[in-house]
Structures are given as C-alpha cells and as structure tokens.
Amino acid sequence: MKPFIESLRAQMRTAGKQRLEKLGLTLDDLEKIPGGEIAIAAIEPQPGVLATVLLVDTTGHEAETRELIDTISERLVARKATLLGENKLTPQVTTYLLPERTEDAASANSPAAAVAPRKRQVAIAQGTSALVVGDDPVTVAQVLGALTKGRVDCLATLQSFDAVGTQCCKDMPARAAPLRWFIDPFGYAKLYQAANPSREKRKGPDYVAILGRQGFDAIQGAGGIILFDDGAHEICYRSMVYAPPLEGRKPFAADRFDRAARMLHFPDSDTIDPPQWAPRKLAGWTAMQWDIQAAFASAESLVDDIVGEKGVFDDVIASLKEDPDGPQIDVEKDLVACLGKRMSIISDYVTPIDTDSERLVIAIETIDAQRVSETVAKSMATDPDMKKVDFNGHVIWELIDRSAAIPALEIETPGGSVIHADADTDTKQNRPKLRERDEKLLPHSAVTVAKGHLLIASHRDFLEKVLLTSGGEESLASTVDYEAMHKELNLLFPGPTCMRSFGRVDESIHPAYEMFRQGSMPKSKSLAGQLLNGILGDGKEKSERAQKIDGSKLPEFASIERYFGTICMGMQSLPNGWYMAGVALPKIQQEQEQEQKQPVPQ
C-alpha cells in the first residue's frame, strides 16, 4: 500500500483538501508532538460562525512543539499571511490573517450570501503541555484558558453528550485509547449552511430545513467510540443516537415523535437471524425491524414538504386506486397492511468486476403473501416497462428499457429527484413520474413474492440465486464465519435487538476497490456508487463527476485481501434513542475455527 499512501498524501497536499492545511498543519506534523490525546472540534462561538480548533496534548514534547510553531509561522508567511498585532482580548494567541481567495470574493458578492464570509485566520497558542490551533483567535484563547480554569458550559455538561458517552463507555477497558466522536447533526448542518453560503441562489428543497420541520430534529446528538485491537478484536465499535421522546410521550411508542419522524420506530425482536434463503456465499447481510405501517402513515407530510405542495401524497395514492389507466390498487390496504416488520438486505457481486457488478436483494416480510402477490401482479401488469418471467414456479417481474429506483409499486413516484415548488416551473404540471429520469438507482431491477417475502432485486440473476437456495448447508447461517460473528453479537446484545448485520469485508469492498483503482467509481451503477455520485457531484443532470482521488497506485486486490476479515453490528432501541455496537474479526481467526471444525482423520 506504500506507493498509494505516498500518492494520496501528495494528492491531498496538491489539492489542498486536508482540513488541517488551513491551520498551517499536516498529518506528518502531528506525528512528532503528541504526548497524549489529539482533539479537533467544530464550534459555534457566535450565531452563524463556524470555528475549527485543534487541541494536542504535547506532554514531553514541548521543544518539538515550539519548533513546530516556528514551522507553521514560516508556512503561513510563505502563503502571504499577515502577522496581526497583539490583541488585548487574546494576548497569548499569535494570529495570522490569510489572503483573500477568489472564491471568497465570489461568495461575498453572491446574491445567496446573507453575510460576507469571515476573514480567514490562523490562531496559535502554546500552553503547559498543550498546543491549540484554530481559525478563530477568541475560541483558541478560550480553549487555552479552559485547560487550567475549566468552564461551566463545557461539552460534558450537554445532556446528549453525557447520554452518548455513558452508553458507549460501558464495560470499556480502562486502558483503552479509543477514537471518540460526537455531533449535534442538525445544529452542525444548519451552521455549516450559514457559514458556507452557495454562490448561486438555491432552487428546490432545503432538506435540512425540511427534516427539521418534520420532527427529525428530535435527534439531538450522535456519537461513538472506536477501539482498535483490544486483544480479541481488530476493531470494537460502539455508538448511540440520542433522541429522547417528546415531553409527555412514552418511550418506544409509535407517536414518541411528531410528524414524519414517527417513521423512526424500530421495535426490538428476540431473534434476528439470516433467512434460510440467504445464500452461503454472500458479501453481506443486514436485517432490521421497522414499523412499516407507522412509516407509511407518517410519510404524507414529508412527501408534501419535499415537493413543496400540500396534498401531493394523497393525490398519488388516490390515483393508484382510482385512475382507470392505472393499477387500481389501494396501497395502504392491499400492500402496506399486508407487510410485516422485518426487512432484510443481502449483497454480493459478480465477476469480472465492472460498473454493474454489484448485486443486492431487498426482502420485506409479508403477513399475507397471497394478497401482496396479487397487488404486485396488478401493479406490474399495467406497466409497459415490466416483463413477466416464469422461473422455477415463481413469477418474476423484470424491468426492461427504462428503470426505476425500486420497481415497483410506487408507480408515480418510485425514485429520483423531486421537482420542488420553488422551481421556475408550474408545480402541478411537474408532479413527476420520476421514472422518466435517465439515471436510476436499480436500472435492472426485478421483483417477486416468494419465501414469505416481497423480494426486490437489483438484478434478476441474483434474485434467481435466492429463489434456488433452500437452506441447510446452502445458507449463510451454516457458515463458520457467520457463526463466529453470531456469538460476538450475542455477547454484545444478550437481549432483544432491532437490527443485526454481518459482512465479509473483502467481498464487500472488492467491487468498489476495483472501480476506485480503475478510476471508474463515478460510473458505478451500484446503489452505493450512485448515492456517492449524488452527494459529490455538481447536481447537474447527466453530468458525470470527476473522481477526486487517483487510485491507480493501489495494489492488486489479491495481494491485500487476506488482511480483511469479517464485521458484525447490532442495534437496540433505547428509551432515549438507539444503541449500536459491532466488532471486526481477523480472517486468520476464521481459518483457525474452520480447521477446528474439520473431522480428525481416523
């Protein structure tokens, strides 16, 4: 991996993408000075201002720290930074003013900018066995002072932070030196928007605002701990989402939150195991409990808010039932009410690896399979893009020509982007049949009802593999590596859970690794690849993003795959949120267990 690591470092330096670089630091610098913990934080010192601060415990490395401060100063001067005079408010802080960038000037003149962008600064302070560097001098001074004096409003006094830390630190070894993280998701998202205004006036939905209006701001915090090599595991991971019920609401109740956030209802189950139809050779499996009926009942306000017009959701549901040219199905009674609470996802890939190699099947438990099957048939029979295929006694509906995100049953709105009421077009004329978009999440999808589940697949060949799996030695549950991870999950969660997952890391990352190595990740047709393109792309239709990092120096996957083992994770619903924990085991442990299971020669 050395050639790639060196190449990656060079690319990050050239592109200026390192978060530390704006503070005059590099990752190499931080190898020389720490005598203890390193912490980095995004802080809101005043409304609408996003400050970054780095704190390093330099115990035993004070001389190296002074040398580093001199180096930082030289770098900043080389970047034409100006040393500012001493400030009475921050006498212990050395501050440099960085030159204005072209993009800063453009943002300042942008019609979307509510306020001019903050001047870029680097503030440096050395305390007793500590280095503090940030982009806001007042914040740096406050952190430096708090090291000796403390502060009454420190992060530890935040209820969400305390709850997350208490839950995640249970039974953690005292000598552990973990990676810890915490975020106020909505607070950070709003602050980031305010501090980084778009150069162009934004059209369409503001998803941060929409999710807040729909009650998802009930999620007040999320955090976790990652512990490396604790003796039994390569990685031990624990995290919690802190979302206490609204005042006067009961924990675990379907109405613990308001509006669309009520779809966040994941009831625990005593047993969550791989279904017998999950093939033995898989990259990964995940199953979770989800109250689908509650989610459907809560979706109306969210859909209307995204589209920007009240009544759109009801119109779509009504058209599916009443339109003489449509399937004439009652979605709530004929489909949603006939589904259970267990949803499973299995994934794999085919070779040779290319942009369309990854495979997945989404399975939703049915409580009335016959009625779901009839509903699917009515829906698909009226869709000219669907082809009926008979396979081994099962009826499969396969998508042809054009495609949809999830084939299926959402005739009017199956996937893709939504035209919002803010767009410069007539909203009613543009209530989209979203399958008209060219880019689809599952362009080769197939659907059937079998084995007690509604099965939605990315490709028909993988669905057929599932249909042919009959259990026993053919199934995932019988494999040695799954059994090992099952034991680990039972130790992490001796009681009920609402989600469990298992993954073979080498199989899970192999397709993406090859795409990245070939520079083809932006062309990937996998679900993850297309979501990544949507996040990192420029947002323009039919525009293909450029791969940000050159992966051509990565080695052949065969030379490193032996280092990847298996991972597992579980999730449990709590009165005040959700707790997740998981571990990673090395592959060598699986091989040893396999040998132990082999019969002794007579």
Q: Which helix (H) or strand (E) holds 569?
A: strand 566-574
Q: How far is CA 126 from the centre of its chain?
A: 36
Helix, coil or strand: residue 457: strand
CA atoms within 13 A on the CB side of 111: 4
From residue 374, alpha-carbon distances to 156, 328, 458 in Å are: 55, 12, 22
H helical segments located in 360-518: 369-381, 460-468, 480-492, 505-518
pLDDT given for residue 437 in this prediction: 38
∠ CA 176-179-183, rounded to 5°: 135
Q: Which of 313, 310, 347 is nearest to 332 (CA)?
A: 313
Cβ neighbours of residue 128 closer than 8 Å, sequence gap 6 or more: 147, 148
pLDDT given for residue 577 in this prediction: 97
Question: Helix/strand/coil (H, E, C) string of 319-357?
Answer: HHHHCCCCCCCCHHHHHHHHEEEEEEEEEEECCCCCCCC
How many CB atoms lie under 10 A from the CB of residue 506?
Answer: 18
Query: What are phi and psi for residue 343, nearest 5 degrees?
Result: -120, 135
pLDDT given for residue 428 in this prediction: 43
Cβ neighbours of residue 502 closer than 8 Å, sequence gap 6 or more: 274, 284, 285, 286, 476, 482, 485, 486, 566, 567, 568
Q: Tokens 């707790």 appear where?
A: 579
> Model pTM?
0.85
How many CB atoms lie under 10 A from the CB of residue 428?
Answer: 10
pLDDT given for residue 413 in this prediction: 35
* DSSP 8-state class, residue 593: H
Q: Dig out the tokens for 460 from the structure.
A: 């028909």
Helix, coil or strand: residue 99: coil
How many CB atoms lie under 10 A from the CB of residue 91?
Answer: 9
- Amino acid at the residue 299: A
Cβ neighbours of residue 273 closer than 8 Å, sequence gap 6 or more: 287, 477, 486, 500
β-bridge pairing 235-242 and 339-349 = unpaired
Helix axes 505-518, 527-536, angle to 10 degrees: 50
pLDDT given for residue 415 in this prediction: 36
Q: Are 146 and 92 in contact (CB under 8 A)?
A: no
Strands lying side by side in the sheet with 38-43: 38-43, 51-57, 130-134, 121-127, 94-97, 82-83
Q: Which residues of the chain have pLDDT under 50?
A: 16-18, 112-113, 403-419, 423-439, 589-591, 593, 595, 600, 602
Query: What are phi and psi for residue 177, nearest 5 degrees?
Result: -120, 80
Q: Which of 236, 227, 259, 235 is nearest to 246 (CA)?
A: 259
pLDDT given for residue 544 in this prediction: 62
Helix axes 587-597, 480-492, angle to 10 degrees: 110
* DSSP 8-state class, residue 300: H
pLDDT given for residue 355 in this prediction: 82
Residues linked to residue 240 through DSSP beta bridges, in sequence order = 223, 579
Q: How far is CA 102 from the centre of its chain?
A: 32
pLDDT given for residue 517 in this prediction: 87
Helix, coil or strand: residue 430: helix
Q: Are 109 and 201 in contact (CB under 8 A)?
A: no
pLDDT given for residue 25 in this prediction: 78
Q: Which of 498, 453, 568 is nearest to 272 (CA)?
A: 498
For 490-533, the pLDDT digits (tens) are: 999 999 999 999 999 999 989 888 888 888 777 766 666 666 56
Q: Dig out the tokens for 118 from the structure.
A: 């903050």
Question: Helix/strand/coil (H, E, C) string of 1-43?
Answer: CHHHHHHHHHHHHHHCCCHHHHHCCCCCHHHCCCCCCEEEEEE
Q: Dig out the tokens for 251 from the structure.
A: 């924990």
